[in-house]
Homo-oligomer: A and B are copies of this chain.
Amino acid sequence: MVPEKTIERLSLYRRILLQVRAEGAAMIFSHQLAAMARVNAAQVRRDIMQLGCVGVPNGGYDAGDLLDSIDEFLYPPTFQKVALVGVGNLGRALLAHFAGRWRRLSVRAAFDKDPAKVGREFSGCPCHAVEALPRVVSELGISIGIIATPAAQAENVAELLCDAGVRGLLNFAPVRLPGPTHVYIENVDLTSALDKVAFFARQCEREALASGAGGTR
Contacts and interface: CB of A to CB of B under 8 A. Distances in A.
A129 to B, nearest CB: 21
Interface in A159-217: 162-170, 174-179, 182-184, 186, 188-205, 207-208, 213, 215-217
B216 A204 contact: no
Contacts of A192: 7-9, 11-12
B167 A217 contact: no
Contact of A202 (B97, B167, B178): B167
Nearest to A92: B89
Contacts of A44: none
A25 B102 CA distance: 47
State the number of copies, please: 2
B105 A198 contact: yes
Interface in A1-41: 1, 4, 7-12, 15, 36-39
B105 A194 contact: yes
A57 B125 CA distance: 54
A93 B89 contact: yes
Interface in A30-88: 36-39, 74-76, 80, 82, 88
B204 A183 contact: yes
B195 A163 contact: no
10 contacts: A11-B192, A80-B202, A94-B190, A98-B194, A144-B194, A166-B201, A167-B205, A169-B197, A182-B208, A186-B197
Interface of A: 1, 4, 7-12, 15, 36-39, 74-76, 80, 82, 88-90, 92-94, 96-98, 101-102, 105, 138, 143-144, 146, 162-170, 174-179, 182-184, 186, 188-205, 207-208, 213, 215-217
